[in-house]
Structure 1
Amino acid sequence: MRLSDAIKIQTFELVRDRASGSFDLRDVLSATLVVIDLDDLAPEAREELIVQLLNEGELTRRDSFEHARRRDSYTHGRLAAKIALQSHWSEIDPRLISIESGIFEQPILSNVVGENVSNLGVSISHSDRLAAALIFHRGHPMGIDVDLPSEDDVGPVLDGLDRETREMCATIGLSKRDTASLLWVARESLAKTLTTGMMTPLDIYAPSEITHKVDHYVLGYRNFAQYQTYVWSGGSGWLAITLPARTRFKNEGPEWS
């Protein structure tokens, strides 16, 4: 299995109808998405990537996790992020950059030596099968989530919905599991963008609208009108990307299946 079969890299351009902020939009309106299909990533290829991309500090933290599941999720998320960083900024040596954890466990890029990456942000997500990372400019905040909720997750997601959200979901014609998947990844990606995690009442992330496009959905929010979330469905997982509300993808956005 070639690495290219297991790793998908997409850099896409973004468009805003109206400029804001003091930064150069040419530097801001682009992002790089990396998704690793863990089922297709051979063990020897995984170890090769670890050697190529992770630095001593990251390896030390990786080895500090007692449980294999937590150790693997850390490793796979960091690998996706380092590949995305290298693809977004080709001149950079990913081993000279550390991906640290903030006080809310949010990933933060930090330079060990050399290039300053303080203007870049990273969002990381992983499921049983997929690991994903998004590199973007911190002046244009974004967040990502990938997941494939199980049937056991449907009840906890849908049972707490208010009447307005239930009625909204009924109009999009999805099964209960797909509806739960849509809402799950959307609010996870929004929470990552806001740096709240899932530490606030879930109804604060309630959608104000859910629009079905040709191959994806777009959600707006009652309490966070400044953001929107694009969601794509897929057999191995759902993908959500949250970005500022007046921003759109220049072309079709990331491919997902």
Structure 2
Amino acid sequence: MQLAESSPTSFSVVPLVLKDDEQSHWLHFVSIDATAFEHWHAQHRQWLHPTESSYYESITSDVRRSSFLLGRIAAKSALTRQLGSMQPEAIEIRSGLFQAPIVCAAAANPAQVSIAHTRTMACALAFPATHPMGIDLEDILPDRSQAMERQCSESELAMVQALPSTVAHPWHVLWTSKEALSKAIGTGFTTPIRLFEVRELMGVSASPLEGRYAHFGQFGFKSWTIGQRVLSLAYPKSCHLQCGNDAPT
């Protein structure tokens, strides 16, 4: 998966395809560089639903304002592509009981969205509501690696120790894959993190890295190292996810 290093006011769009036994489904991944905040702030009412706009204008924390706005714009950009001709301000993204984003839009084919952000980037994945998915993104920071390692099980520690040295940032891969799954099932980390244990890592000599979960056999994940970030995407294991060089043109 390639994220375009374009101008800071533009966003990168990556189309993906999810194939199940019956048909293929388009997905849309969008990322926005956090340096573009002032550009998007100037036009936020063109993107936010009136309820979202009122909430955004009430936020006093600069960090929270940036993450909320850029996350919503990434999500709206992905959703307008997923849903067709809808205007972004006509789509409302509410927060569920466990803070998962809930898409409210008058569309024939319902879609949902997963949102992730760091201090340097916001991103979102729009997907059919019938196929639960989730993404997570983390900046690669050495001090975070130690905290992530402490959250791993004994079997995960042994699995990482057995990996070839060419596998980059394994602790970030495990952490983001777990958070992506927690978003796919709608609980976030309100569920004990040990339940999201990774059972297997595959394709260690290629990108993306792929994996399976110990307690959620219904899902698999793919992870990419993108510059100084790790992105993971959890999706139904019964489906085939086409992306990167395999994505249709």
Q: Normalising by structure 2, report the TM-score.
A: 0.88
Query: Partner amino acid for 1:228?
Result: G
Query: Judging changes above 3 Å, is the alpha-carbon distance between structure 1 residues 100 and 86 closer, same or farther for their aligned structure 2 residues?
Result: same
Superposed CA RMSD in Å reads 2.5
Q: Quick check: 2:135–2:233 contact (8 Å CA) kept in 1?
A: yes
Query: How far did residue 50 of structure 1 move?
Result: 1.4
Q: Quick check: 2:139–2:228 contact (8 Å CA) kept in 1?
A: yes
- Counterpart check, 1:155 vs 2:149: no
Query: Judging changes above 3 Å, is the alpha-carbon distance between structure 1 residues 53 and 213 closer, same or farther for their aligned structure 2 residues?
Result: farther
Partner of 2:28: 32
Query: How far did residue 202 of structure 1 move?
Result: 1.6
Q: Quick check: 2:109–2:128 contact (8 Å CA) kept in 1?
A: no
- Counterpart check, 1:55 vs 2:49: yes
Q: Quick check: 2:75–2:113 contact (8 Å CA) kept in 1?
A: yes
In 1, the alpha carbon distance for the partners of 2:138 and 2:165 equals 17
Query: Judging changes above 3 Å, is the alpha-carbon distance between structure 1 residues 110 and 237 closer, same or farther for their aligned structure 2 residues?
Result: same
1:1-257 matches, within 5 Å, as 6-16=10-20, 18-19=21-22, 25-26=23-24, 29-39=25-35, 41=36, 43=38, 45-111=39-105, 115-116=106-107, 119-174=110-165, 178-211=169-202, 212-250=204-242, 252=244
In 1, the alpha carbon distance for the partners of 2:103 and 2:237 equals 25
Identity of aligned residues (%): 24
Query: How far did residue 199 of structure 1 move?
Result: 1.6
Query: How far did residue 187 of structure 1 move?
Result: 0.7
> How many positions carry a matched residue from both structures?
242
In 2, the alpha carbon distance for the partners of 1:181 and 1:149 equals 7
Query: How far did residue 174 of structure 1 move?
Result: 4.8
Query: How far did residue 51 of structure 1 move?
Result: 3.1
What are the superposed Cα offsets for residues 1-36 of structure 1, whole Å, 9 maximum, x if unpaired? 9768741112221223x34xxxxx35xx22110011
Query: How far did residue 252 of structure 1 move?
Result: 3.6
What are the superposed Cα offsets for residues 140-159 of structure 1, whole Å, 9 maximum, x if unpaired? 11111111142221222112
Query: Partner amino acid for 1:236?
Result: Q
Aligned partner of residue 203 in structure 1, secondary structure: helix
What are the superposed Cα offsets for residues 41-84 of structure 1, whole Å, 9 maximum, x if unpaired? 262x3135413211221111112223221121111110100111
Q: Quick check: 1:32–1:88 contact (8 Å CA) kept in 2?
A: yes
What are the superposed Cα offsets for residues 82-129 of structure 1, whole Å, 9 maximum, x if unpaired? 111122233111111111111111111113xxx336721110000011
